[in-house]
Chain A
Amino acid sequence: DIQMTQSPSFLSASVGDRVTINCKASQNINKYLNWYQQKLGEAPKLLIYNTNNLQTGIPSRFSGSGSGTDYTLTISSLQPEDVATYFCLQHSSRPWTFGGGTKLELK
């Protein structure tokens, strides 16, 4: 199985800050990397698919980058509504596997 190591596990930032979250795969996942946002009590929401493709309706302050084994989610200017848990998914190789999640809070 491909192991996904996500960092940091917790992140505290201020409104307007640039925030980055990372996922590292145990092997090359060929950009088959998605990012999701999950707010308390809500369904997870797809933000970015295949490394850098913004899902329809997602604000442009969210972006993704990476290749090979290393991937990054960036929020260019943190907004209060971005408080949530974020997690990555690799869908390059079955079984598909997830990062451990990053809980993002406002400072």
Chain B
Amino acid sequence: QVTLKESGPGILQPSQTLSLTCSFSGFSLSTSGICVSWIRQPSGKGLEWLATICWEDSKGYNPSLKNRLTISKDTSNNQAFLKITSVDTADTAIYYCARTNWAYGFDYWGQGVMVTVSS
């Protein structure tokens, strides 16, 4: 059974760095063809793909935020991470992680974690 769960700070202040963790089970990020992605959804707005990291450590970023994003993984502990630097109120959103396959898209998602940026 594939499961993913996101964790984060809940609330942080503008200009800080947001650190998110995706803990997963039921698959391995060392398996060929497997990736993990981060997606977010601001309240009342649409979904936005942020970044993807794959089994061989290749990475992809949304160009609209590329300079602020860093995705990484800990294969041994079945975790993926996302850092977003210099956050502001526009980064307030629900953040999801999802297992990803380049041929099939996002197939399993976590429930999401709410992150609020506020002074």
Measured in the bound complex, the distance between the Cα atoms of B107 and A49 in whole Å is 9
Task: Bits for A7-30, please: 1 = Cβ < 8 Å to B, else 0.
Answer: 000000000000000000000000
Q: Are B60 and A94 in contact (CB under 8 A)?
A: yes
How many A residues touch B, CB cutoff 8 Å?
23
User: Across the interface, do A32 and B105 meet the contact criterion of CB distance under 8 Å?
Assistant: yes
Given A43-B4, A49-B107, 20 other A-B residues pairs in contact with their CB atoms under 8 A: A32-B105, A34-B104, A43-B96, A43-B109, A43-B111, A44-B96, A44-B109, A46-B105, A49-B104, A55-B107, A87-B46, A87-B47, A89-B105, A91-B102, A91-B105, A97-B49, A98-B46, A99-B46, A100-B46, A101-B47
Interface flag for A80 (CB, 8 Å): no
Number of contact residues on B: which range applies?
20 to 34
Contact status of A95 and B49, CB under 8 A, knowing A42-B111, A43-B96: yes
Whether A46 and B111, one on each chain, are in contact in the complex, defined by CB atoms closer than 8 angstroms, is: no
**B74-119: which have CB < 8 Å to A?**
96, 98, 102-112
- Chain B residue numbers with a CB within 8 Å of A89 are 47, 105-106
Within 8 A of A (CB), among B4-43: 4
A residues in contact with B107, CB < 8 Å: 46, 49, 55
| Distance A36 CA – B62 CA, assembled complex (angstroms) | 21
Chain A residues contacting B111 (CB-CB under 8 Å) are: 41-43
**Across the two chains, which residue of chain B brings its CB closest to A6?**
B46
Q: How distant is B3 from chain A, measured CB to nearest CB, in Å?
A: 9
